Amino acid sequence: MPSSSPDELSPREAWLYERGLFALERFDDRTPLIYRKPIELPGDVREWVAGWGGDSLFLTGPIGVGKTHTAWKTCRCWLEAWYAPAREWKGGPDLRTYRSTALFDALRPDGPDEIRRTLVKELQECHLLFIDDLAAAKASVWTQERLFEIFDERYINRRPVIITCDVVPGQLADVTGPRVSSRLAEMCGDSIVLLEGADRRKEVAA
């Protein structure tokens, strides 16, 4: 968001400012309550946001260290950056957020084909896809195939994903299948961030 006051902005900047505020408000409304609290992002995550034009981000670490909260805040920063005046306008941002368990459910073979096909296409094409806790549930062979469709399309078009997970991409083959974990390892490349520390829930409870 521009730092000058709204009445000093050019018409283009004012337009971006208004739209950005509206998008951020809507994003905040759908952010789970505990993840709305402001937090400091780790340096390597801030660097990812600053150069967000392609690579994916993989946040890993032990239980309760802050992976999901960091990912929600990173999505918010990504959204804010979308409306930066210096950036070429490419239409409104399409940012999808999913818990892995809800995603795997939505991809199951027993739902309507048409709805599932539409979902796969949307997740192939959205500008940013955030999947929380990717190793939380094991995907069936069918779901692994749908995940492959989603990830392969994003991989070949360099569309970013943000993943949180308690293992690194190389250890995900059992969950996602080896072809997805291999692609993820390349997509996240230098942006595999290990969050370290104690379970923050214990600090809150103490």
If one asks whether residue 154 binds ligand ATP (CB under 6 A), the answer comes out as no
If one asks whether residue 2 binds ligand ATP (CB under 6 A), the answer comes out as no
Q: Do 130 and 68 form a contact (C-beta atoms < 8 A)?
A: no
Q: Quick one: 33 or 141, whose CB is closer to Mg ion?
A: 33
Q: Do 80 and 1 form a contact (C-beta atoms < 8 A)?
A: yes
The residue from 19, 127, 179, 200 that contacts ligand ATP (CB under 6 A) is 200
Q: Quick one: 61 or 85, whose CB is closer to Mg ion?
A: 61
Q: Quick one: 65 or 175, whose CB is closer to ligand ATP?
A: 65
Enumerate the β-bridge partners of residue 129: 96, 161
* Region near Mg ion per CB under 5 A, out of 6-14, 48-56, 68-76, 148-156: 68-76
The residue from 55, 80, 133, 145 that contacts ligand ATP (CB under 6 A) is 133
Q: Quick one: 8 or 105, whose CB is closer to ligand ATP?
A: 105
| Residue 74 burial by Cβ neighbours in a 10 Å radius (0-12, 13-18, 19+) | buried
Q: What burial letters (b/e) apply to 185-198, b meaning 16+ CB within 10 Å?
A: eebbeebbbebeee
Minimum distance, C-beta of residue 63 to Mg ion, in the bound complex (Å): 8
**Phi, psi for residue 58 in degrees, rounded to 5:** -120, 115
Q: Do 70 and 197 form a contact (C-beta atoms < 8 A)?
A: no
Give the three-state DSSP class for 161: strand
Using CB under 6 A as the criterion, which residues of the chain lie in contact with ligand ATP when the complex forms? 34, 37, 39-40, 63-69, 133, 164, 166, 200-201, 204
